[in-house]
Structure formats: structure tokens, C-alpha cells
Amino acid sequence: LSRRVAEQLELYYNRSFAELGVDLAIGEDRSLYILEVNHKPGKPFMRTERDLELYLKSIRVPFQYAAYLAHTQAAVIPAAPPWSRDTSGCSRAELIEQIIQDGMAFYRTPYRFGAVPWSIDAFDCSSFMQFIFARSGLLLPRTSRQQSLLGYDVARKNLQRGDLLFFSVHSRTHKKGLERIGHVGIYLGGGRFLHSCKAGGVVVTELSDPYWNRLYIKGRRVIEEDGCS
């Protein structure tokens, strides 16, 4: 389990480490506690020795994400980012509406390739999806290719509001499999999707638009049918 969480943290941060380990503890109630993340033996990752409060702030997101990934194998006690809502009592439909409303609130926010995670001054396509899902307590990996591995495929004719849509980009159309993916958005229904792109930043686009229709690859349903995570 420790190795699995460590591998997923690498995906989350879109960085490679020579060695990455996670110290875990299981409580008497079988709840999972994540104690520390290390990228080299004896050298802590994202830890500030002199300022405990800064350390606790710095690990808040990896705590939640690692706990979220470990959820299928153990009960967890995640530490949610301070701007995340408590969605434990909402329905799947309510969760989707919250995510989309959060996304629409950033309409026309500028596009920036490689945007810093959690920044709201500018987004690229995947940082935008990562942010609006995390606002409702669902943490996605950082890149569109990693995000495309979540959930399950949905045929285009069966797309529903809240599904993630994945596209290629011109620099990747010659690639195969996962490497073809270079863009992501969230389906709004009615043939429209919300995304962050170079042409206009955060915008709503018709899926039938000739440019995006040509680059469309697949839809993925990442929010479970039984409601909130």
C-alpha cells in the first residue's frame, strides 16, 4: 500500500523521484494515517523542520490525495485543503453541479501552459479540472493523460453532465495510446463542454466545433454513480 500511494504521489506532482516512500500507520479502528512522505532515505519531502505550522500546511494536499487513493484498501482520515467543501452528504447530481458552478465562476480566466497547481490566476486544461474537482473534495492527478486513467470510458452518445472529455492536440496526433491525449474538459450536456484553452482561457465550447470534434478521443466517467467520495 505504501508503494502504491508513493507511485500515485509521483503522478500527482508530475515529478520523478529516485526513491519515494510513505510512512503509514493503521489505528485501532483500522483508519489509515499518513505520517510522512520521503523522497530520499532519511530526507523528508515537503517538510520544514523549523516551522511546524508551515509543514502541516505543506502536506495538507498530499495527505488528502494519498488517503483518497488508498481508500479502496483501508478506511482513511483525509486532511482536506482549507478551500474544499464537505460533500459527504450530497448526491452525485449535487456534486456535479457544484463542480460545474465552480468552473463557470472562472469564465474567461486566462490560459497558461504548465500553470501552478491550485493557482486561480491562470489555468491550463488539466490544472483547471484538478482545481474545480478538488474544490468539492475530489482530487485528480495533475495532467490530462493521468486524469484519463480515472473512471471508465463512456460512449459519445451516452455522455452525461460531469463526464470528463479528452482530446488530442496537433503535436500529439501522430502518437499512440495514452500519449495522444493532450487536452481535457468537463461535459456540460447539450453538446457543450467547459475547459481552459489557449483561445480565450476558460470557455464553453460546442463539442461539434470542427476543431475539437476532429481532436476528440473519448469521455470518462470519474464520479461514481452512488454519490460523493
Domain boundaries, the chain: 2-76, 92-221
Catalytic residue chosen out of the listed positions 39, 125, 197, 228: 125
- Compute the chain's Rg from CA coordinates: 18
At 138 the pLDDT is: 87
Q: If residue 184 lies in a helix (H) or strand (E), which one and from where to where?
A: strand 181-189
Q: Is 150 or 129 the better-scoring residue by pLDDT?
A: 129
Catalytic residue chosen out of the listed positions 71, 170, 174, 183: 183
The residues pairing with 154 across neighbouring beta strands, listed in sequence order, are 219
Cα–Cα dist 59/109, whole Å = 27
pTM comes to 0.67
Q: If residue 221 lies in a helix (H) or strand (E), which one and from where to where?
A: strand 216-221
Cα–Cα dist 49/125, whole Å = 35
Cα–Cα dist 196/110, whole Å = 8
At 140 the pLDDT is: 86
Q: Is 3 or 169 the better-scoring residue by pLDDT?
A: 169
Does the active-site annotation cover 125? yes
Collapsing DSSP to helix, strand or coil, 51 comes out as coil
Q: Into which CATH architecture does domain 92-221 fall?
A: Alpha-Beta Complex (3.90)
Q: How much is the average pLDDT of 172-185?
A: 94
At 98 the pLDDT is: 95
The residues pairing with 218 across neighbouring beta strands, listed in sequence order, are 166
Which amino acid, 95?
A: L
Catalytic residue chosen out of the listed positions 39, 71, 90, 195: 195
Cα–Cα dist 8/70, whole Å = 10
Write down the H helix ranges in the chain: 2-13, 52-58, 60-70, 92-104, 125-134, 144-147, 210-215
DSSP assignments along 82-102, one per residue: TT----TT--HHHHHHHHHHH
pLDDT averaged over every residue in the chain: 77
Residues of the chain with pLDDT > 70, as a percent, come to 62
pLDDT bin (cut points 50, 70, 90) of residue 48 is very low
Q: How much is the average pLDDT of 57-85?
A: 48
Q: How much is the average pLDDT of 157-169?
A: 97
Question: What length is written for the chain?
Answer: 229
pLDDT bin (cut points 50, 70, 90) of residue 106 is very high
